[in-house]
Amino acid sequence: MSDCDGSPSTSSSSSRRFSLADIQSATDNFSDELVIGQGGFGKVYKGSISDGESMTVAVKRLNPRSRQGAREFRTEIEMLSRFRYPYLVSLIGYCEEPDEMILVYEYMPRGNFADHLHRSGKNYSAPLPWLRRLRICIDAARGLDYLHTGTSIQPDRAIHRDVKSSNILLDHNWDAKISDFGLSKLGPEDQAYSHVSTEVKGTFGYLDPEYYLTRRLTRKSDVYAFGVVMLEALCGRPAVDLSGDEEQWGLAGWAQYCIGEGTVDEIIDPSVKEEIKQDCLMDFVQIAVECLRNIPRKRPTMAEIVVRLEFALAMQEGKNSYKIVKPAKLDLALQEGEDSSDVVKPAKMTFSRKVQRYFLGTTSVNSDTKPTSKVQRNHSSISNSILPDKDGAMSNNQDGVLAQELPSGGQTPTPSFKQFTFTELKSITKNFSNERILSKGSHVVAFKGWIDEKTYNPSEFGVGMAVVVKEITPNGFQDLGLSQILEFLRNCSHPNLVKILGYCTSEYSRDYNMFLVHEYMQKGSLDNHLFRKGAEPLSWPIRLKIAIGAARGIAFLHTIAKQNMYSEFEASDILLDKILVCRREVDEDWARTSLSSSGKLKSTLMGMELQERIPSRAARQVAQLVLQCLNTELRSRPSMEEVLFNLETIEKGTSS
């Protein structure tokens, strides 16, 4: 393990070395009028350098009286030269002269997140809407995930050590990037829980108590600090505020206390309170509280946080109107050594203990707090609707709905995963009539129909939500048992996967076939758009968006397949080919997309007719990525997460 606190030579391979005269000219000789910020290192100026074209930059000049110095300066250069990513601020160059240490960064015109949350600084104009706060948290989480896990191309891993809202900077589109790597440590490569022992550094209000006590630094210290940032975003309060009552000085402690007391509503920033949807709020609070768990091992990883925040965003945007169960939640309730007996008696169904807890919703917001919060109460009401009966059998309610979300405001509950009756399916598909057939394969026939959006009851032709009813012969499932299939399907919920609305295994069904009901994707499958004669060619940005959507869906499948309960099978094998439930298709606004196989991905991206219209740099990058995916040596192929990361980077490069 190398350590940035040693004194590596300033790695300047990808950063430019400026003379002091360059910097003086860029900042009007360090004019006070150009000061845009001040941190522990020194003042930050807005400047303008010319490299052929003129470019606005942020110039950070070491204050000779600062407690920070050469070590932080070198660490920053070293880190930012190694870690380049759309969600990390870029270092453009540096200046090192006998009495000067200066860093030059890309300029982030909207300043830092803290100023917008706490209504301070020149950049603040109006309270940030909730959606924007959520997106900023996701960007920052992506940046930290990259720092923590690296990629096959950039295998180094690091711990930031000073995650806070003033180190999250915003560009003119409100895209967020992590900054300030002066305290970062290059970390151990493999295990999330291995650590480095260091002198305790960081910022009060964000310091992981475990690190403070033990000096054992892990990535989970960043996760703790990120949890505090999430609370700042939710409450609009700084991490430390000494102006109020003593128990409210530290946001982390105060917010956790309120959540435990069921009074989380009272601490939400009034300017966003009305905007936050209940589902999104519950998830957001849940993630934040988990980040703050006392035991670092029990905190989620940044990768999990990214997926779950994206999920919360989808809920806020109304893309998942029914209750969906997220794989990341596996970790919420199922911590090692936890006793499940207080939750639910073992059911006769073959769901594993993990799956039961997972499926029933979480029962403990935080293993460190008492189970009395509103969030918890809401969750337990979800559980109650599907508690096993006294014989241990899982009971459905009268509608055959297995799990129900109980939304706020007394709206009609929406089923999450319905057990349809065969009669209902007959009504949905007009008695499985030929005119309703969408496609026919050797093991699967798909029919189109309509159901009521709220109850999932059959509705008239063209009324309510369009769905696909798929009839699958037993051979279509290979050797999988029903319980395994259902387990998987329930958890297969992600904005980039077709939504499974329910199933039917009625004894009256033809030949004991199974039926799945999933959402209907208006634009059909991608191959239609790519290969159908006369189809309007898809533009390059849409193709890229589709590839990214598909990569997100697949990456998610891989994540859930990694959970123990699925260790016996590979998600991609089962879902993509055999069960056919996740044959991802393109929806209405092209935002949630996917492809039907990696073969199509290749042809999508390499389509000859498009080559002229793809920016040449992007074309090269895509071609390189495709070649990596097709590497004959399995181990050398990138993971889906890496593919996704690369596609997102290419997209950023194309749009900027």
Ligand X SMILES: Nc1ncnc2c1ncn2[C@@H]1O[C@H](COP(=O)(O)OP(=O)(O)OP(=O)(O)O)[C@@H](O)[C@H]1O
In the bound state with ligand X, the residue whose beta carbon lies nearer, of 162 and 310, is 162
Helix (H) or strand (E) holding 17: strand 16-17
In the bound state with ligand X, the residue whose beta carbon lies nearer, of 58 and 571, is 58
User: Catalytic one among 22, 115, 145, 162?
Assistant: 162
Q: Examine residue 181 and tell whether it contacts ligand X (CB under 6 A).
A: no
In angstroms, rounded to a whole number, what is the distance separating the alpha carbons of residues 438 and 422? 19
Q: Phi first, then psi: what are they for 158, rounded to 5°?
A: -145, 160
**Residues from 38 through 67 that contact ligand X (CB under 6 A):** 38-41, 44, 58, 60
Pairing of strands 100-106, 53-61: antiparallel
Q: Examine residue 73 and tell whether it contacts ligand X (CB under 6 A).
A: no
Q: Examine residue 108 and tell whether it contacts ligand X (CB under 6 A).
A: yes
The piece of 31-39, 222-230, 295-303, 579-587 that touches ligand X (CB under 6 A) is: 31-39
Determine if residue 60 is labeled as part of a ligand binding site: yes
**Residues from 212 through 231 that contact ligand X (CB under 6 A):** none
Q: How far is the CB of 116 from ligand X (least distance, A)?
A: 10
Dihedral (Cα; 216, 219, 221, 222), 10-degree rounding: 150
Q: Examine residue 250 and tell whether it contacts ligand X (CB under 6 A).
A: no
DSSP structure class, residue 41: S
In the bound state with ligand X, the residue whose beta carbon lies nearer, of 38 and 381, is 38
The piece of 92-100, 103-111, 225-233, 268-276 that touches ligand X (CB under 6 A) is: 103-111
In the bound state with ligand X, the residue whose beta carbon lies nearer, of 49 and 561, is 49
Q: Examine residue 162 and tell whether it contacts ligand X (CB under 6 A).
A: yes
277: left (phi over 0), alpha (psi -120 to 50) or beta: beta
Q: Examine residue 27 and tell whether it contacts ligand X (CB under 6 A).
A: no
In angstroms, rounded to a whole number, what is the distance separating the alpha carbons of residues 459 and 453? 9
Encode burial over 580-616: b for 16+ CB neighbours within 10 A, e otherwise.
bbbbbbbbeebebbbbbbbebbbbbbebeebeeebee
Q: How far is the CB of 88 from ligand X (least distance, A)?
A: 11
Q: Examine residue 8 and tell whether it contacts ligand X (CB under 6 A).
A: no
Question: What is the sign of the dihedral through the CA atoms of 213, 216, 221 and 222?
Answer: positive
Helices and strands, counts by H and E, the chain: 21, 18
Q: How far is the CB of 89 from ligand X (least distance, A)?
A: 5
Q: Examine residue 107 and tell whether it contacts ligand X (CB under 6 A).
A: yes
Q: How far is the CB of 180 from ligand X (least distance, A)?
A: 4
Q: Examine residue 36 and tell whether it contacts ligand X (CB under 6 A).
A: yes
In angstroms, rounded to a whole number, what is the distance separating the alpha carbons of residues 282 and 379? 9
Q: How far is the CB of 66 from ligand X (least distance, A)?
A: 9
* Interface residue with ligand X, options 4, 169, 276, 305 (CB under 6 A): 169
- Structure tokens of 364? 């403990």
Catalytic (active site) residue 162: yes
* Interface residue with ligand X, options 15, 179, 363, 496 (CB under 6 A): 179
Q: Phi first, then psi: what are they for 462, rounded to 5°?
A: 75, 5
In angstroms, rounded to a whole number, what is the distance separating the alpha carbons of residues 332 and 299? 9
Closest by Cα among 389, 347, 344, 388 to 362: 344
Binding site for ligand X (CB under 6 A): 36-41, 44, 58, 60, 89, 105, 107-108, 111-112, 162, 166-167, 169, 179-180
The set of catalytic residues is: 162
